[in-house]
């Protein structure tokens, strides 16, 4: 593979992975890797084989595919490029980048709950963070292939550190772990106790960084955000359809019969997960602030859609109410006219009788 020359300006949070074709993405991965780590300590051909094999081992599912992996790797590349040079060490940065690239390897388009509830073989092997453990093991398997070990020029100690870092980073993409990490890191920041010198503190910020990268589609420009959400929910609905076919009830977010709730789901997702994640990140890595700003703009757009849905529903209900009112008024008028008609008819009968009596009387008198 030939690296593009000149190297394009990739360190932008608004960059769209959908602007590249499938053959170009591996080249751009090499570009990013070269910019971050140089190639003096790495074999170029090993790196090319590794990247191409990683791409090959992403399945053709709607969202958790090679494009998503590229996007997540690009986001961490941008964070590292925009952050203080002392934030992450060389080995930490290396592990974060490779972890992002490999974090969803062999994803089947189904979440951990589906794996566990359906007693899949993977769930039997990994009872917690099922898919994340599998993604890490897939990464190690690729590294062990002949001509794929991009870390072979590291020392044994460095190799051990990098693998541990990759494992920690990939497992951190399990959203079930995010809330605990968020709470602990938020407490450290609020109490002004966070220290880059404390390894446990560094682990928290690296975990938050992985979550931020994994969810970076929520910070992209609105057109990209809409496109991404569509394919995300395509994958969700496919899982929901399978759960229905098995007699299970999918969660509302994965039920295509509740697709109208998508904007409200996005509002909850950005407010409850994305913004808290990005806020913690930019407080420690200020160069990542555009992620927070982008998600905030998308929140406004989703909120506007929710408000429009509410207005449209209210207008629809008002129209129904007006139709019902008109129908009720029409019915009341008709009933009133019918009663009046009956009343009028009732009055005419005695008049006729009276008239007959009078005629009869006059006849007698005559």
Q: How far is the C-alpha of 272 from the C-alpha of 365, rounded, in Å? A: 101
Instruction: Tell me the CA distances in angstroms from 17 to 68, 155, 157, one per residue in order.
Output: 8, 34, 35
Element (H or E) spanning 180, and its range? helix 175-190
Does 64 qualify as catalytic in the annotation?
yes
Q: How far is the C-alpha of 54 from the C-alpha of 225, rounded, in Å? A: 25
Q: How far is the C-alpha of 244 from the C-alpha of 242, rounded, in Å? A: 5
Tell me how far apart the 2 most distant CA atoms of the chain are, in Å.
Answer: 142
Question: Catalytic residue among 45, 60, 64, 74, which?
Answer: 64
Q: Which two tokens stand for residue 359?
A: 């005629």
Q: How far is the C-alpha of 142 from the C-alpha of 147, rounded, in Å? A: 10
Q: How far is the C-alpha of 248 from the C-alpha of 276, rounded, in Å? A: 32
Q: Which of 158, 111, 107 is nearest to 136 (CA)?
A: 107
Instruction: Find the angle CA(63)-CA(132)-CA(261) to the nearest 5 degrees.
Output: 40
The answer to whether the peptide bond before residue 6 is cis (omega within 30 degrees of 0) is yes
Is the distance from CB of 222 to CB of 301 less than 8 angstroms? yes
Task: Report, as residue numbers or ranges, the catalytic residues.
Answer: 64
């Amino acid at each position: 593979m030939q690296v593009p020359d000149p190297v394009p300006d990739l360190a932008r949070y608004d960059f769209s992975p959908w602007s590249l074709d499938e053959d170009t993405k591996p080249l751009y991965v090499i570009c990013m890797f070269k910019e971050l780590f140089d190639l003096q300590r790495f074999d170029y051909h090993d790196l090319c084989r590794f990247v191409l094999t990683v791409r090959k081992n992403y399945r053709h599912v709607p969202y958790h595919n090679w494009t998503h992996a590229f996007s997540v790797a690009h986001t961490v590349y941008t964070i590292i490029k925009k952050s203080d040079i002392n934030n992450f060490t060389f080995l930490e940065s290396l592990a974060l980048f490779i972890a992002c690239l490999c974090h969803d390897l062999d994803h089947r388009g189904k979440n951990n709950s589906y794996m566990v509830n359906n007693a899949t073989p993977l769930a039997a092997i990994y009872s917690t963070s099922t898919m994340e453990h599998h993604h890490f093991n897939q990464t190690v398997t690729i590294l062990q292939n002949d001509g794929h070990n991009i870390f072979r020029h590291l020392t044994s100690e460095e190799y051990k550190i990098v693998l541990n870092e990759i494992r920690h980073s990939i497992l951190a993409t399990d959203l079930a772990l995010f809330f605990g990490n968020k709470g602990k890191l938020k407490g450290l920041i609020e109490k002004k106790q966070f220290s880059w010198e404390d390894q446990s503190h560094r682990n928290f910020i690296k975990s938050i960084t992985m979550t931020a990268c994994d969810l970076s589609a929520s910070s992209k420009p609105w057109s990209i955000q809409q496109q991404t959400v569509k394919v995300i929910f395509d994958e969700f609905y496919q899982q929901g359809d399978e759960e229905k076919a098995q007699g299970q009830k999918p969660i509302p977010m994965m039920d295509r019969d509740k697709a109208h709730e998508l904007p409200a789901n996005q509002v909850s997702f950005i407010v409850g997960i994305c913004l808290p994640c990005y806020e913690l990140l930019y407080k420690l890595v200020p160069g990542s602030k555009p992620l927070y700003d982008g998600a905030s703009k998308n929140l406004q757009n989703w909120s506007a859609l929710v408000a429009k849905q509410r207005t449209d529903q209210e207008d629809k209900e008002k129209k129904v109410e007006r139709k019902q009112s008109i129908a009720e008024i029409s019915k009341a008028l008709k009933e009133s006219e019918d009663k009046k008609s009956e009343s009028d008819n009732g009055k005419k009968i005695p008049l006729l009788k009276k008239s007959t009596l009078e005629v009869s009387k006059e006849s007698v008198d005559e």
